[in-house]
Every structure is written in C-alpha cells, then in structure tokens.
Amino acid sequence: CYLYRSDPNDVARVEHLTFVCTRSREDAGPNNHWMDPAEAHRKIDGLFEGAMRGRTLYVVPYCMGPIDSPHARCGVQLTDSPYVVLNMQIMTRMGEQALRRIEEGETFVKGLHSTGDLNPDRRFIMHFPEELSIKSFGSGYGGNALLGKKCHALRIASWQAREEGWLAEHMLIMGVQTPRGRTHYIAAAFPSACGKTNLAMLVPPVSMRGWKIWTLGDDICWMHVGADGQLRAINPEAGYFGVVPGTNANTNPNAYEMIRRDTIFTNVALTEDREPWWEGLEHGTPTIDWQGRAYLQQNGPAAHPNARFTVAAKNNPVYSGAAEDPQGVPISAILFGGRRREVAPLVYEARNCAHGVLLGAGMASETTAAAVGATGVVRRDPMAMKPFCGYHFGDYWNHWLSFEARSSRLPRVFHVNWFRQDLEGRYLWPGFGDNLRVLQWIVERCEDRAGARETPIGFVPRAEDLALQGLNLEAAQLEALLSVDAAAWHREATAIGKYLDEFGPRTPERL
C-alpha cells in the first residue's frame, strides 16, 4: 500500500470553480456554473502557459467501461501528476488497449490537466461538452484531477448520453442473488454520506442465509436500452475511489478487506509502524497526521474527513464478473434515496415511469439541526446528480421521461430511506446488512411475489410483506417506518413543486 499527502488547500471537489462551458448559457442550466467557451479557453490557457516547464508530461489513454464493450467510451488525459497517472491506472482501463480503440477511429474525450502551483485562486475545472473536452488547472485532488471520473464519466457523458439516447448516472450497480439462485441487478442513486458504497458491498445478516450480494460498481452507472428492450448497465470505472474514515470490519467488511493490499491511500494518518490509520479504525494509534505532522488531538482529526482509498474493483471479495459483460447487465430496479429523519418511509414504489422520474427529481437529504426535535434543512439533489449533470436539469428530466417510448420493459423505481428517526433522534431502522430485508421486498415486487398497500405516494409494504425474522423491532417502530403522513406529504409535494419551478419552462409539464 502507498500513502499520498495532498496540499492542505487541495482536499475536495471545488464546485464553485467547476464550469460547464456551452455556447448557449441556457443549455448549461441553473444547476451549473456557466462560462462562455471562448472566455473559458482564454482564461485557462493563460494559466497553462509554461505551467509544466521542467516537469514530466504524462499521456494517459484510457477507456471507461469494459474494453470490448460497444457502450464504453475512451479519453486521453495529458497531466503532469504521477499521482493522477497511478490513480487512473487503477480507476480506468488504461494504456495500449485504450489507445488501440482510439487509433481505430473512436471519438474520444480530450483532457488537459496540470497541478499548476496549487493556488486556490488559480484553480478551474472547465468542461466543454460540445467539444468533448475538459481542462483542469490548479488541483491534484481526485474529482478535480482524475478526469475520467466525475468530469468525463458524468458531466461530459451525461451530455453525450442525451445526444445518443442513453443515461450516465451517479449510481451504484449491485447484484442481489436470491436463495433460488436468481440474480436481480439494481442501480441506486444516493447523495453523498448516504451509504452508497456500504450498500453496494452489503453483507447479508445471519438470518438471511442463502442470499448473496455482488458488487458491479459503487459510484457511476451508464445505462442503455439493450436489444431485448431491457435497460442494461455497465460500470465505466475499474476501481473505487472511496471515503476511508468510518470504514472498518463492522461497517463495511468487504471494503475493509479489499484495501488491505494494493491500495493508494490519500490523506490518512500513520501509526508508529507506518500503517495507515483513520477515524473509525478499531485498532492502532495515530502518530503522524494527514499533513505529515506529529499527531496532536488539538490539531483536529488525524486523517482528513475526505481521506480516500483507491483500489482495483477486482480486489473486492464480492466483485461480480458480470461487470465485465460488454453488453451490460439487465436492471430490474432503480432506487433513489436520501437522508430523511421524517416524512419519507423506509421504502415505497413508484406507480409508473413518470412517477419514478418525479421520485428522483424530488430527492433530498436533511441536515439535522443541533436542537433535538428541530427539523433539519432539506437540500434537494435530483438523482444525486446536482454537482454532476452536464446540462440543464429540465432537459435532463425530459430525457429520463423519453425512455417510456424507447422500451416497454423499464425497471421498477423505488425510494428508500434508511435514516428515519424517532422524536428522541434514535434511528428506527438498524441499516447496514439489514437493508437486505428491504432489497428482498424490492426484488420480490419485481417478480410480482410481494404485497403492498397503495398510498397517495405509491406502494408501501405492510409489516407482513417484509422479512423481519431475527429483528427486534417494536410495533410502534415499524408503524412509524412505514407510515405516510398526509399533511407532511402535502408540504413535501409543495416544496418539490417550488423546486422544479426554479428550472423554468424547460421543466417537463408531466412532473
């Protein structure tokens, strides 16, 4: 394993310095920072002038998706960062195979990157969707510098996907294998800090013997309508760039196992034995903090809260070989979810495709206020794509709705919320491995084998529809988890309507 320390001013994505540069400002939409392409090129090219003098230039041809897949897309990144090269080698299919695809005439995304002088005032991440190009200057951090990840695989790819009739989404892909041996593939979108990686690598509880979970991806999902009319998905990435604090043998045993070897750690602490350490690790003591200083408690956390691991997907003990299928896997269900202490029940199913798009468009997470019982601030994050959609959200929702006409075999759509709390602030649902009980209901709904009650917001399971054996849940807890408060939902629907109105006339009337 290896440790990399970034500059203390360069530790996260910089959304306020991330621009989508389309010829028409309207096309970028209010969900993006926009700059005129000519002005953007002029501004960033001036910064690039002479920036790599005396440095090594690396040319990185890469492929997003299985190398032999017709649904994969290629790119070439020029960079002066060895850290970027090593991460791209893990995160993408990089090198000769990708170059061969490009040489055969495939369109590719052009990426130019320099760490520059790491000055936060001279830092920009520019996307030019109409030119299929990206220019990033002044940061060496993952999302800003590994151009295959959010820049290419979401912002540029979402634009390409609309033009070409597919979807580029901020979603995990997992396989849920039933005791009867049938595997359903699920794609799920959650905002940050809602447990996407943990769900993708879930370990079934002891009481659910015979169920298995397979990981295909934990972050990005490209979906297209297959020859059979089903929505099929590939994971464009070949590795994981995950947040490491909080990861241990209990919270995510599979992730913990896979990062024990062949891993690049970014901004973690070190123990006396030069072992990596982070908050949430259940053994060891930090002696050197993430900035390379002797660890002192008064300096704050030993590892940066956004410390990362980069590791090959194949290191995951439950990695699915189906992730290499060039045609992708058929998606049975799409899940949307957020962190809501109230309002949203544990799980509910949309009535139809258009209703499913509304569930995604109205997705939100709640920041809990310090005072117990006070409602948190609700932040909307449609389809978990707010920082990543490369064009106007109104056009994006219209594109989602267009799939009704493309296929009669679309996945069912569900909304989940693992984070319901009681009035004292205690979580009502145990979460982690027990989330498989909800996934069981979802796959059985896909097989038309599970019951539900119809409510104003969609189909909600009754207590008897869920596999609750081995769980110590009180009746009142269960009732609260599955309740639909009409007054609260009137307020929620009004709030969603106001949010959609912010995107103006391009917002689909149907929503």
Residues, the chain: 511
Collapsed DSSP state (helix, strand, coil) of residue 322: helix
Nearest to 133 by CA among 277, 32, 37: 37
Place of tokens 């997470």: 365
Q: Are 451 and 461 in contact (CB under 8 A)?
A: yes
How far, in Å, CA of 294 to CA of 286, rounded?
A: 9
Q: What is the DSSP letter of 240?
A: E
Nearest to 43 by CA among 29, 33, 30, 53: 33
Collapsed DSSP state (helix, strand, coil) of residue 290: coil
Token couple for 176: 């849920």
Place of tokens 């006339």: 505
How far, in Å, CA of 109 to CA of 261, rounded?
A: 32
How far, in Å, CA of 252 to CA of 152, rounded?
A: 28
Collapsed DSSP state (helix, strand, coil) of residue 503: coil
Q: What is the DSSP letter of 141?
A: S
Token couple for 75: 């790119």
How far, in Å, CA of 186 to CA of 182, rounded?
A: 13
Token couple for 181: 């041996």
Place of tokens 């009754």: 462
Catalytic residues: 194
Using alpha carbons, list the distances in angstroms from residue 397 to 158, 359, 372: 12, 11, 36
How far, in Å, CA of 67 to CA of 92, rounded?
A: 10
Please report the sign of the dihedral spanned by the C-alpha atoms of residue 336, residue 308, residue 263, residue 95.
Answer: positive
Q: Are 46 and 415 in contact (CB under 8 A)?
A: no
**Cα pseudo-dihedral 57, 58, 61, 64, rounded to 10:** -110
Q: Are 419 and 340 in contact (CB under 8 A)?
A: yes
Query: Phi and psi (nearest 5°) for 325?
Result: -65, 120
